[in-house]
Chains A and B, each alone.
Chain A
């Protein structure tokens, strides 16, 4: 039992809830019809989709169930939202986003820039917060859309998206939020906000991979990304991923039930994990806005060591986490989120993210608290920035390698 694997990488993806699997299974062999068909095979599937739409409407607090458009993933929802806003308002050429968005937004924006569009990225402060006054000054008539994430995937920091949406609305600008990390973890009631579009992804909330949603407020000008059949009222052509959609519906129903648990039990375990590690490990700190963030995410920077090395040693102990270090992403640069917050390189490379779920237990957290300090000590022993008692005096000067 002691070596049973511990999964603390729920911001990457989650286990599919067994109840969700049970709900979707009949849609492979029993209710396999095409919901567009007139016969009873199709009809049953149509009913399943309708139920799912309602369950998602509930979780998001959407006014109408027709505001839910099923897609294949969060990335598709993000691309659809931004490209639609530009296509529907050809006289506007500017996108406002933030420096810490997911690549689903940032890479798209870079590509748009090559096509001549203007992209403004809001900077963040040391805790990953934006300045609303600066944001307000950017809301000019040539802006087609603002896209800001609800919760940051690396630090869990929440943006005040409801307030940002109000401000965009007041300036006559569409507002989109990538909420893939927030949905199911923080209460959302879209009908009381001015948010025009919202992206969510099934596999972040215990539904399978390959299904997502774009919430589209009724009346918001829209131009589909995929054209073809009449599915999703012509707003997203392509035969529905029926089993995945039914699963997502069930997962949303369960997420609503567990919202309280997430914000009490999971939050307490997360706080215990942070306190337990920081009490034993010096020169480590929690990144992001610790007062306003997701209940399940702990991102700890361990100074003078590198994240991939930490993950490999954690993995050896059966603990799954993730890192903002360059080496784990396949890119050469450390996480753009850490750099945007001005975290020094020697700490940014050592950031480690533990993301919990409703399945995380107290015993697991205790094991992680015990496992981390020796791992950090072991790697610091190898580090040229570290001496026996602590960091070498003036670490940046004592070790100043010739960089290639």
Chain B
């Protein structure tokens, strides 16, 4: 059985805001055909202020789908529509003290229902562009579609590369067979053969130059240029998914980036940042940390306090 947090159990056994809502003026119906979960989110929005006065849900789904729906309604009540749209699936999961990796899509479904309901209220049509595949890497919650897209877009041919770009396979490594199958399939499409890992798993140790800043031998200007070049190389990959990023600040080993467009709030945000970090470490030859720019004030304040 799944390991659900107490909070998930509590919201499943005693769901908040469940049932139909007669006076709803924004309704979003979404589902995940793979899992068979489906959710109807109903909003009562004040037309004068755009504030969500009330929210309710009906869900056909498992324990975490019901708990995620319940959490979502609690989070968005009292928010304006624009504020509500900033709620990420990660926030829904965090509200519930986390979800098992296989169940993260329940929180994604919640966020999609919210987008759909707000679009419905505004008289727009919401279309979903996120396709979900089978979960391959359980450690980092990376699915087959994500791996397939990244392998295709970047002409990847080894498990190690896939791990650099997506994090998939970087944990317990038991999904390497699954990743190799995807590599074999995509490589076959382009008439290539995948590079198999050394049989004895003797992959070269990751370079970890545990040295102070600027050991890369670059001047500060050259270093930032290098960072920009690396980001430019990654950018098309994000743009293809209707997303983008901007470099905001470089503070020593901390590199602050804003994910924008579809990348912002995507369930893969964490993985995307991880992938960017891996590329930057590779390019600079030093360990750097990629952080979301929205956290910059807090992180720098903490760093200053520690210093």
Task: List residues of chain A with CB under 8 Å of any chain B CB.
Answer: 304-309, 311-313, 315-316, 325-328, 330-334, 345-346, 348-349, 381-385, 387, 399-404
CA distance A330 to B1 in the complex (A): 9
CA distance A403 to B34 in the complex (A): 9
Contact B19 A381 (CB under 8 A): yes
Contact A327 B59 (CB under 8 A): no
Which B24-44 residues sit within 8 Å CB-CB of chain A?
29-40
CA distance A383 to B128 in the complex (A): 22
CA distance A98 to B126 in the complex (A): 42
Stretch from B129-137, B167-175, B232-240 forming part of the interface with A? B129-137
CA distance A330 to B126 in the complex (A): 29
Contact A382 B36 (CB under 8 A): no
Contact A404 B102 (CB under 8 A): no
Q: Which A residue sits closest to B18, measured CB to CB?
A: A382
Residues on B with C-beta less than 8 A from A345 are: 36
Residues on B with C-beta less than 8 A from A315 are: 1
Contact A384 B18 (CB under 8 A): no
Known: A381-B19, A401-B40, A402-B116. A332 touches B34 (CB 8 A): yes
Contact B34 A401 (CB under 8 A): no
CA distance A307 to B65 in the complex (A): 12
Residues on B with C-beta less than 8 A from A387 are: 20
B63 interface contact, C-beta 8 A: yes
Contact A333 B59 (CB under 8 A): no
- Select A330's contact among B19, B60, B102, beta carbons within 8 Å: B102
CA distance A305 to B37 in the complex (A): 10
CA distance A382 to B112 in the complex (A): 19
Residues on B with C-beta less than 8 A from A382 are: 15, 18-19, 57-59, 66
B285 interface contact, C-beta 8 A: no
Contact B58 A402 (CB under 8 A): no
Contact A400 B60 (CB under 8 A): no
Task: List residues of chain B with CB under 8 Å of any chain A CB.
Answer: 1, 9, 12-13, 15, 18-20, 29-40, 57-66, 102-103, 108-109, 112, 116, 126-128, 130-132, 134-135
Most B CB contacts (10 A, CB to CB) among A313, A401, A403 go to: A401
| Smallest beta-carbon distance B60→chain A, Å | 5
- Select B61's contact among A309, A311, A403, beta carbons within 8 Å: A309
Contact B12 A312 (CB under 8 A): yes
| Smallest beta-carbon distance B66→chain A, Å | 6
| Smallest beta-carbon distance A118→chain B, Å | 20
Residues on A with C-beta less than 8 A from B39 are: 384, 401
Contact B18 A349 (CB under 8 A): no
Q: Can you report 13 residue pairs joining A to B where beta carbons are below 8 Å apart?
A: A306-B37, A306-B60, A308-B62, A309-B12, A332-B135, A345-B36, A346-B60, A382-B59, A384-B38, A399-B40, A402-B127, A403-B33, A404-B130
- Select B34's contact among A312, A325, A333, beta carbons within 8 Å: A333
Contact B62 A309 (CB under 8 A): yes
Residues on A with C-beta less than 8 A from B63 are: 308-309, 312, 327
Contact B13 A325 (CB under 8 A): no
Q: Which B residue sits closest to A400, measured CB to CB?
A: B29
| Smallest beta-carbon distance B131→chain A, Å | 7
Most B CB contacts (10 A, CB to CB) among A312, A383, A404 go to: A404
Most A CB contacts (10 A, CB to CB) among B13, B34, B36, B128 go to: B36
Residues on B with C-beta less than 8 A from A307 are: 62
Residues on A with C-beta less than 8 A from B135 are: 332
Contact B62 A304 (CB under 8 A): no
Contact A404 B58 (CB under 8 A): no
Known: A327-B35, A401-B31. A385 touches B60 (CB 8 A): yes
| Smallest beta-carbon distance A386→chain B, Å | 8
Residues on A with C-beta less than 8 A from B33 are: 403-404
Contact A384 B30 (CB under 8 A): no
- Select A306's contact among B18, B61, B127, B131, beta carbons within 8 Å: B61
CA distance A382 to B42 in the complex (A): 13
Contact A384 B36 (CB under 8 A): no
CA distance A346 to B37 in the complex (A): 10
Contact B60 A404 (CB under 8 A): no
Excluding A402-B31, A402-B128, A403-B31, 7 further A-B contacts by CB distance (< 8 Å) are: A312-B63, A327-B64, A331-B134, A332-B35, A348-B36, A403-B32, A404-B30
Contact B31 A309 (CB under 8 A): no
CA distance A325 to B103 in the complex (A): 14
CA distance A327 to B18 in the complex (A): 21
Contact B37 A404 (CB under 8 A): no
| Smallest beta-carbon distance A5→chain B, Å | 14
Residues on B with C-beta less than 8 A from A328 are: 1, 62
| Smallest beta-carbon distance A113→chain B, Å | 13
Contact B66 A309 (CB under 8 A): yes
Q: Which B residue sits closest to A379, measured CB to CB?
A: B66
CA distance A362 to B266 in the complex (A): 52
Q: Which A residue sits closest to B38, measured CB to CB?
A: A401
CA distance A383 to B132 in the complex (A): 23
Contact B37 A383 (CB under 8 A): no
Contact B36 A401 (CB under 8 A): no
Residues on B with C-beta less than 8 A from A316 are: 13
| Smallest beta-carbon distance B43→chain A, Å | 15
Known: A326-B36, A332-B134. A383 touches B60 (CB 8 A): yes
CA distance A333 to B102 in the complex (A): 12
